[in-house]
Amino acid sequence: MTRYLQIAFKVFLIFLFPFVVLFLALFFDFFGKHQDLGKIELIQAPYYNSVVESSSDKKILFGDLHVHTTYSLDAFVGNLPILEGEGAHPVADACNFARFCANLDFFSVTDHAEFLTKREWDETIESLRNCSLVSEEKDEEEIIPLAGWEWTQTSLNPEEHYGHKNVILKPLQGSLPARPIGAPDHKFFKSIVDAPIYALYGALLYDYENMSSYFNYRQRQLILRNLEYCDENKHVTELPLDCLERAEKPSDLYRKLDEWGMDSLVIPHGSAWGNTSPPMASWRNQLNSSEHNEKYQNLVEIFSGHGNSEEYRAWEAFREINGEYVCPSPTENYIPDCFQAGEIIKERCRVSAGSEEVCNMKAKEARHNFTQSNPFGLLTIPNQMPHEWLESGQCKDCYLPAFEYRPRSSVQYALALRNFTDRNSKPFRFGFIGSSDNHSSRPGTGYKEVNRVLNTDSRYKSSSPILNPPKSSKEYAIPSSQEINLEQMLDRTKPSQGERVASFLYTGGLIASHVSKKNRDELWKSLNNREVYATSGERILLWFDLINHPSGEIKPMGSEFIMPDNPQFQVRALGSQKQIPGCNITDKNNLDLIHQICNGECFNPIDERNNITRIEVVRIRPQSYPNEPIEKLIEDPWLVLPCEPSQEGCEVKFEDTKYLEANREVIYYVRAIQEPSLAIGAANLACDRDDSGKCTKVNLCGDVEGQGEGDCLSENEERAWSSPIFVKFSGN
C-alpha cells in the first residue's frame, strides 16, 4: 500500500502539483501587477502642420475626442491575448499614436468611468500632462491632450435609457475632479469584475505563454471587488478619494459637474447603436429641462468606429398598438428581427419536412415569442446561428450604419424634436463631431484603411476557437421557438452578436475644428461655438457659411440666429490628401520606434487629393406643434449640388427660396462627399442577392467562408458633415 501511495504522490508532484500551484497563485493573486504607465516619446513628430483657411487667418485642426486605453475594463479584456489582443495599452500609447501615426492636433482619453479606480484616473492625468510636455517652448502646441471619461449608461427600458456620453475637461493643469463619474449598475462591467475564477484559470492554462495577463486581470478583479460606492447625498468635494462615484441620470451628471465647477463638455455618442440601446430607444425621454443641459451638451458624435448615427428612418423594430408591441412587416430597406425569427423557424420547419400550414403557424408563433421577449428575443430561437438572421435589424440604405440601427435615437430625429409641455426645455442644438471610439489607445485610426484587427474594435476571426467555437448544422435545426420568462432575465445583459457586429465596425472618424490659433483656449472656444465638423476619418477640408446676414457678417457652421430674409449659403470643400504605404521617416534612428508604435503604417500623404464629387444639403424643420410627424420634417437630401473633379476642391452656393413662405425655424447642414475609395467594413454583411434583390446569404467580416480574415475592404464614399446652422424665423 505504501508503494502505491508513493507512486500516487510522485504522479501528483509531476502532473497535478503545477496545476494546483497555478490555481492557488491565481486565487490568492501571487503574481498580478498593475499595468505599466508606458513611455511617452519626447522626440519631434514627423509632421507638424495645421491647415490654414484660404479666406481668413483661421486654421483647421483634426482630433479625436473618444479613445479608450486598457484602463477601461472592456478594453482590458478585449486586449487579452486569448481574445486576439496585444495586451496592455496605457495612456502613453495614445499620445505616441496620435503624434507619430495619426498626426493629430488634439485628442482626449475617455476611459469608462465605471470601475475606473482613483489610481488609474491619477495616472491618466499624469500621462496626459507628460504628453503635453512635447509642446513646451513652441509658438503653437504640437499636440493638445484633453482629459475626460465616458459615462456609460444603459437600460433595457427605453424610458430609462439615456445612452453613452463622454465628459471632456478643458483644463489639464491645476485641480481636476478627484475621480470620474460613472453610471450605476452596469451589468456588462460588473460581469467582468465578477468573472468566475475557473474561467480565468481555463484561460491561463489555454494561453499559458501569456499567463501574466491573467494574473493581472485577477489582481484588478480583487481590487475592484473591495471598492465602495460614494455617498450620493454628499457634495463631490466631501467624498472619499477612492470611492466609485455614480450619476444615475444625465441631470445627476450635470449637477456633479456643476459642483466641480470647471469647464467641461458632455458629448453623447453611439446613440443609434443597437448593441447598447434597446430597440425602442428615443431621444424624447431626455428632451426636457432636467436631462438636457445646453451648457454642457452642445455637441454630438455623429460617426465613430461603431458606425453612423446620423440618419432617421420611419421604420421601427416593433410597432406599438393599444399599448402592446407587435411585429411589423418588413419594408424595402428594413427587415425586423422579429420577422426574421419567424423566417428562421419556417425554414427549419421546411427542412424537417413540415407542411406549409404547420410551418407558417410556427413562424407566426416565433414572431410573437420574439416580440413578447423584447429585448431578449434572440433567446427564443434555440441555438441560433449568426448567418440565419441575414440582414435583419440593419438599416440597409444608411451610410456605414451602426449595428441594429435605432432610428429614433438618430441625430436627425433629435434635431427635429421639440418639447411642448416643458416650458423650460431647450431644444437639442448639436454641433457634429466624429471620433474613433478605439479601445487600444489608437486615436485617429481612420488615417489609413489598414490592419482591421488593430485599427478597429473587431477582434473576430472565424479560425479562433475562443471567439468562434465550432457548431454543427444539426445543433440548431430545431423547428420551434421558445418562450422566455422575462422575470428571470432581470440580471442578464442582452444576448451578444459578436460575429455579426464585426461587419459593422470601422476605423472611425475625426473631429475638425476651426480655430484662430493652435492652443487649448482657442480649441475650447471652437468646441463651445460648434464651429466644428465631423469626417468619416479622412482629412476633408470643409467650410459652410451663411453669407447674407443683415449684419454683414459671415455666419459659420454652428451659428444660431434670427433671419428676416431667405438665407443664402456658401460651401467650400477640398478632398483629403491621398495616402501611400509606409511611413515617411527621415530620421533612420526612429524607424524601429515608429514601426513598433504604428505597425509600419503612418499618416503619409502625397500632394494629390481625392476629388469631391458632390455636396448634399440636409434641411430639417423642427416640430411646430405636438406630435407633428417627424418623417415629413427631415429632407435628406434636400439639395444635391454636383462638383466637377478638381484638385482645387468644390465651391457652391445655394438659397432657400421657400424660407419666408414656410414661416418657421429651419436647420441646415451639408455633407461633402468624396470619390469612392476602399474602406474596412464598407460592405457590412456583403449579401449575396437573388434576381429580386433579396439577401440569400451573408458574408461576415472575419469569416473565412464570408469576407475572410483580412481587412474586409470595399468601396466607400468618405465624407464630412458640417455642424448645422440654426436659422430662426424673425416672426417666431
Q: What is the model's pTM?
A: 0.94
List the grid coordinates of 111: 476611459
Looking from the CA of 448 toward its CB, the CA atoms found within 13 Å total 19
Q: Which of 590-594, 709-713, 716-720 has the lowest mean pLDDT?
A: 590-594
Residue 272 CA to residue 401 CA, distance in Å, equals: 9
- Rg from Cα positions in the chain: 26
The CA–CA distances, whole Å, from 312 to 291, 415, 432 equal 22, 10, 16
CA distance 723 to 78: 33
The CA angle 484-341-474, to the nearest 5 degrees, is 90
pLDDT, tens digit (0-9, with 9 covering 90-100), for 475-524: 545 688 888 777 666 667 777 888 999 999 999 999 999 999 999 999 99
Q: What is the largest CA-CA distance in the chain?
A: 105
Q: Which amino acid is at 274?
A: G
Q: How many CB atoms lie within 10 A of CB 406?
A: 28
What is the residue whose three cell numbers read 469608462? 112
- Alpha helices by DSSP H, listed for 156-306, are 187-193, 197-206, 211-225, 250-260
Is residue 595's pLDDT more than 90?
no
Cell of 515: 480655430
The proportion of the chain whose per-residue pLDDT surpasses 90, expressed as a percent, equals 70
What pLDDT shows up at residue 493?
Answer: 73
- Rounded Cα distance between 636 and 620, Å, is 8
Q: Looking at 189-193, 346-350, 460-464, 593-597, which range is the least confident one?
A: 460-464
Q: What is the pLDDT of residues 522-564, one digit of tens each?
A: 999 999 999 999 999 999 999 999 999 999 999 999 999 999 9
What is the SS3 assignment for 619? strand
Q: Are 481 and 381 in contact (CB under 8 A)?
A: yes
Residue appearing with cell numbers 430639417: 620
At 392-411, the pLDDT tens digits run: 999 999 999 999 999 999 99
d(CA 30, CA 330): 56
pLDDT at position 481: 82
Q: What is the mean pLDDT of residues 90-113?
A: 96
Q: Look at residue 473 in the predicted model and tell me its pLDDT.
A: 46
| Alpha carbons 509 and 718: distance in angstroms, whole number | 10
pLDDT at residue 28, as a whole number: 60
Q: How many CB atoms within 10 Å of residue 372?
A: 18
Q: Cis before residue 375, ω within 30 degrees of 0?
A: yes
pLDDT of residue 3: 64
The SS3 of residue 257 is: helix
The answer to whether the CB of 670 falls within 8 A of the CB of 615 is yes
Round to whole Å and give the CA distance between 596 and 523.
30
In 522-567, beta strands by DSSP E: 532-535, 541-546, 555-556, 560-563
CB 613 within 8 A of CB 643: yes
Q: If you search the block for the grid coordinates 425655424, which residue do you land on?
A: 665
pLDDT in tens, 35-66: 888 898 877 777 655 565 555 678 999 999 99
Give the model's pLDDT for residue 1: 53
| Residue 55 grid coordinates | 479666406
* pLDDT surpasses 80 at 714: yes
For the chain, the helix, strand and coil percentages under 3-state DSSP, each to the nearest 5? 30, 20, 50
Query: Rounded to 5 degrees, what are φ and ψ at 385?
Result: -110, 145
Residue 715's DSSP bridge partners are 678
Distance CA 21, CA 669 (A): 63
The whole-number average pLDDT for the span 295-311 is 97
The strand order across the sheet containing 650-655 reads 555-556, 541-546, 568-574, 650-655
Residue 12 is predicted with a pLDDT of 47
Q: Cα dihedral sign for 114, 459, 303, 635?
A: negative
d(CA 612, CA 541): 10
* Torsion angle (degrees, nearest 10) of CA 158, 159, 163, 166: 180
Mean pLDDT value across the chain: 90
Query: In angstroms, rounded to a whole number, what is the distance separating the alpha carbons of residues 221 and 196?
Result: 10
